């Protein structure tokens, strides 16, 4: 039972990785802590409960990571994917800190498993959570409870009263009832705004009705919007998001990792008019999987279809929804709702353009098309061996990039350039400081863990001084 007349040292808004890291760290530093999670208890944990790994710098092999992944290589990877849309001092600080957080995570009950290779080839760079993000989130909640963090579920922070960058009080709706919370410091860790379709509609129009949100329906960006409206400095491009090709039959929200499809490099992908629109074999899948959501978002009706034959079918991760299957390309088109003649023509033109080569699904091989627009640059083989398979694809939105500007103490920066006296941010809500564009698999959890720890420690220190 939470006493709303009490003034907490630290209020943490959110119930995902970034919030939990902040809450546990602040409590360990001796602060009284209240954590508000908008979701009810069975749905707690935000997008973090869907995760599997985080990206960790290391100078030598560890018990769960192979070889080495030094700071400069990590930084170089980040610089490349963001095209420079990052903050080097903050990024390097995060990278360096990623080398040292594992013991603390384990102390909180997080367990790791030997790294997995899978379709994204991450065994050297990423530590995998045993039991996935759900187990991680459960371990942090258990630790928070054991340490005496007060936790309120079904509690939405609606409005923070900011006075010259200082948070005075926080309006909350708790189990449907309005309440006011007072705290000396606040950590905003409420994720992105990808589940707020009306906000997304401002940039994407009615296309959003065809987007699928891969994670929590509670990431609506209410706190982000509230703070931006009151003079917090924005960071990141509001139109940018991380999006993958998802099975179109996935639920609108919370389908998680299993609804992603990795069939693209071994297929051709056509739009609803039966035409190809992008090079499916441009580069290795770990470097291309995150562009396909946006590509599909740009096609009419935000739908596409991945088409392959029997010899390609076993080359990618099995799908959670069975493939649509047929003995001829024309019949497959009919089953997918496409015009049979057009799809037959597209496949015939593609087949005619395929050049002889030595197929190797594990590297950039020499199997390509000639005189075809768009080309297929690798893994191009004729689609001619029945049965034929197809998957309908939608843009699967992982998270948005617009966030709050912060400094190295995780303090929120106001539009006049001054840091807030008592407002901190961690996780997706500030990830745009470091990840302004593109994506590096596992970096979301790294940012949330590192900045959650910093925000929790700084908020506790400030509150208790």
Rule CB under 6 A: say whether 411 interacts with ligand FAD: no
Give the nearer residue to ligand FAD in terms of CB position, either 145 or 360. 145
Of 189, 295, 434, 460, the residue at the interface with ligand FAD (CB under 6 A) is: 189
DSSP β-ladder status, 33-36 and 150-152: parallel
CA distances (Å), 313 to each of 249, 265, 381, in order?
19, 11, 12
Question: And the tokens for 176?
Answer: 């449907």
Shortest distance, position 447 Cβ to ligand FAD, whole Å: 7
Rule CB under 6 A: say whether 214 interacts with ligand FAD: yes
Across-strand partners of 35?
Answer: 12, 151
Task: Annotate each residue in 40-69 with x if it binds ligand FAD (CB under 6 A) or - if it does not, as one string.
Answer: -----xxxx-xxxxx---------------
Of 448, 450, 454, 463, the residue at the interface with ligand FAD (CB under 6 A) is: 448
Rule CB under 6 A: say whether 257 interacts with ligand FAD: yes
| Binding region for ligand FAD (CB under 6 A) out of 33-41, 67-75, 313-321, 386-394 | 33-41
| Binding region for ligand FAD (CB under 6 A) out of 185-193, 302-310, 346-354, 386-394 | 185-193
Site for ligand FAD in 140-179 (CB under 6 A): 156-157
User: Of 189, 171, 190, 173, which Cα lies nearest the Cα of 181?
Assistant: 171
Rule CB under 6 A: say whether 87 interacts with ligand FAD: no
User: How does DSSP classify residue 450?
Assistant: H
CA distances (Å), 318 to each of 63, 85, 261, 264, 303, in order?
29, 35, 8, 13, 21
Task: Annotate each residue in 416-435 with x if it binds ligand FAD (CB under 6 A) or - if it does not, as one string.
Answer: -----------xx-------
User: Of 185, 182, 178, 186, which Cα lies nearest the Cα of 158?
Assistant: 178
Shortest distance, position 458 Cβ to ligand FAD, whole Å: 17
Long-range contacts of 159-162 (CB under 8 A, 24+ apart): 159/226, 160/186, 160/188, 160/223, 160/226, 160/227, 160/230, 160/423, 162/227, 162/230, 162/231, 162/232, 162/420, 162/423
User: Of 201, 288, 259, which Cα lies nearest the Cα of 394?
Assistant: 259
User: How does DSSP classify residue 431?
Assistant: G
Rule CB under 6 A: say whether 16 interacts with ligand FAD: yes
Q: Which residue has the tokens 């039972």?
A: 1
Task: Annotate each residue in 370-409 with x if it binds ligand FAD (CB under 6 A) or - if it does not, as one string.
Answer: ----------------------------xx----------
Residues that bind ligand FAD (CB under 6 A): 13-19, 36-39, 45-48, 50-54, 156-157, 189-191, 214-216, 218-219, 222-223, 256-257, 398-399, 427-428, 442-445, 448
């Amino acid at each position: 039972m939470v006493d709303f007349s009490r003034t907490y040292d630290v209020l943490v808004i959110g119930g995902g990785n970034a919030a939990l890291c902040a809450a546990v760290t602040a409590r360990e530093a001796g602060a009284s802590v209240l954590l508000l999670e908008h979701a009810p208890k069975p749905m707690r944990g935000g997008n973090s409960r869907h995760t599997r790994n985080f990206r960790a710098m290391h100078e030598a092999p560890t018990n769960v990571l192979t070889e080495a992944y030094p700071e400069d290589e990590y930084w170089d990877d980040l610089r490349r994917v963001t095209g420079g849309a990052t903050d080097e001092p903050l990024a390097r600080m995060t990278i360096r800190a990623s080398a040292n957080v594992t013991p603390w995570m384990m102390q909180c009950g997080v367990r790791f498993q030997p790294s997995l290779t899978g379709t994204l080839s991450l065994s050297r760079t990423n530590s995998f959570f045993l039991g996935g993000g759900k187990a991680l989130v459960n371990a942090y909640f258990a630790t928070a409870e054991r340490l005496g963090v007060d936790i309120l579920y079904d509690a939405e922070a609606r409005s923070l009263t900011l006075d010259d960058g200082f948070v005075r009080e926080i309006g909350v709706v708790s189990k449907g009832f309005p309440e006011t919370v007072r705290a000396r410091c606040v950590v905003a860790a409420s994720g992105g705004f990808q589940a707020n379709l009306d906000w997304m509609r401002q940039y994407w129009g009615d296309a959003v009705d065809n987007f699928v949100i891969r994670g929590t329906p509670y990431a609506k960006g209410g706190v982000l919007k509230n703070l931006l409206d009151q003079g917090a400095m924005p960071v990141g491009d509001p139109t940018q998001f991380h999006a993958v090709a998802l099975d179109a039959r996935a639920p609108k929200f919370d389908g998680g990792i299993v609804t992603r499809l990795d069939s693209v490099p071994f297929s051709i992908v056509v739009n609803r008019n039966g035409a190809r629109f992008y090079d499916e074999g441009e580069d290795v899948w770990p470097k291309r999987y995150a562009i396909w959501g946006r590509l599909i978002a740009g096609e009419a009706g935000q739908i596409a279809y991945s088409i392959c034959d029997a010899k390609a079918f076993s080359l990618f991760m099995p799908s959670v929804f069975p493939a649509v299957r047929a003995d001829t390309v024309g019949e497959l088109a009919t089953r997918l709702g496409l015009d049979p003649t057009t799809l037959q023509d597209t496949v015939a033109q593609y087949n005619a353009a395929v050049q002889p080569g030595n197929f190797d699904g594990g590297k950039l091989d020499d199997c390509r098309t000639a005189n075809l627009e768009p080309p297929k640059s690798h893994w191009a083989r004729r689609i001619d061996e029945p049965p034929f398979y197809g998957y309908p694809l939608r843009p699967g939105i992982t998270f948005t990039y617009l966030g709050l500007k912060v400094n190295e103490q995780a303090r929120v920066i106001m539009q006049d350039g001054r840091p807030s006296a008592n407002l901190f941010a961690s996780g997706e809500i500030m990830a745009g400081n470091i990840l302004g564009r593109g994506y590096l698999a596992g970096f979301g959890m790294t940012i949330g863990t590192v900045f959650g720890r910093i925000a929790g420690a700084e908020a506790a220190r400030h509150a208790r001084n």
